[in-house]
């Protein structure tokens, strides 16, 4: 896991964030060029999109043309620590390794089985995240702080014509 951009940089306006979101759904592509180098919103685009090998990381981290959400960095910013994000990062990386060949719903099944059935391959990482007195205690249970809740994407949202593939939530 790499360092995350500090929060509240004011690199993006609310309008720019809305425009960026529309671009990702490929519904309003004429607004997308503003986020590229030299565009009017290039600073906003550079804050949102970062490359895996060029920290600090933004909201979306790219490995080639595949992006993943920087959930771990978001959690760290929301909690004001780096410990929980590291634990999440290790768990997500383990799940990615366990299910690197998965397709469709296989990832959900492998994710569950990775902590239960695969000779404990990811169990130590899962235990670190779910420990009620550990670094991630604030993200467990029903009393998750609202700032932390916003770090986890709504898995019910789908895009019928994705512009880019969003990979595992690991960073």
The predicted pLDDT at position 117 comes to 47
Concatenating the DSSP letter of every residue in 26-91 gives TS-GGGSGGGSTTSTTHHHHHHHEEETTSSSB-SEEEETTEEEE-HHHHHHHHHT-SHHHHHHHHH
Residue 8 domain flag: no
The pLDDT tens digits of the residues spanning 53-107 come to: 888 888 888 888 888 888 888 888 888 888 898 999 888 888 777 777 666 665 5
The pLDDT tens digits of the residues spanning 4-45 come to: 777 767 889 999 988 888 887 666 677 888 998 899 999 999
The predicted pLDDT at position 1 comes to 64
Is the per-residue pLDDT at 168 higher than 50?
A: no
Residue 122 domain flag: yes
Range of the domain at 58: 14-166
Residue 1 domain flag: no
pTM assigned to the model: 0.68
Is the per-residue pLDDT at 164 higher than 90?
A: no
The predicted pLDDT at position 99 comes to 72
Is the per-residue pLDDT at 149 higher than 80?
A: yes
* Cα–Cα dist 88/48, whole Å: 20
Residue 3 domain flag: no
Residue 66 domain flag: yes
Residue 70 domain flag: yes
Concatenating the DSSP letter of every residue in 128-164 gives HHH-TTSTTGGGSSTT--HHHHTTS--TT---SS-SS
Domain count, the chain: 1
- What mean pLDDT do residues 150-167 have? 52
- What mean pLDDT do residues 136-142 have? 83
Give me the residues paired with residue 62 across strands: 51, 67
* Cα–Cα dist 85/141, whole Å: 17
């Amino acid at each position: 896991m790499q360092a995350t951009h500090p929060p509240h940089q004011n690199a993006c306006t609310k309008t720019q964030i809305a425009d960026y979101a529309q671009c990702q759904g490929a519904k309003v592509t004429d607004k997308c060029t503003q986020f590229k180098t030299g565009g009017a919103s290039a600073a906003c685009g550079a804050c949102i999109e970062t490359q895996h090998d060029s920290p600090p990381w933004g909201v979306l981290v790219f490995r080639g043309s595949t992006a993943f959400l920087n959930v771990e960095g978001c959690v760290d910013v929301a909690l004001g620590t780096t410990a929980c994000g590291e634990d999440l990062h290790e768990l997500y990386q383990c799940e990615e390794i366990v299910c690197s060949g998965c397709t469709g719903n296989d990832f959900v099944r492998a994710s569950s089985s990775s902590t239960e059935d695969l000779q404990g391959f990811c169990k130590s990482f899962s235990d670190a995240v779910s420990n009620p007195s550990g670094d991630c205690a604030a993200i467990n249970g029903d009393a998750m702080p609202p700032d932390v809740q916003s770090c986890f994407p709504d898995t019910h949202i789908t895009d019928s014509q994705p512009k880019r593939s969003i990979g595992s939530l690991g960073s």
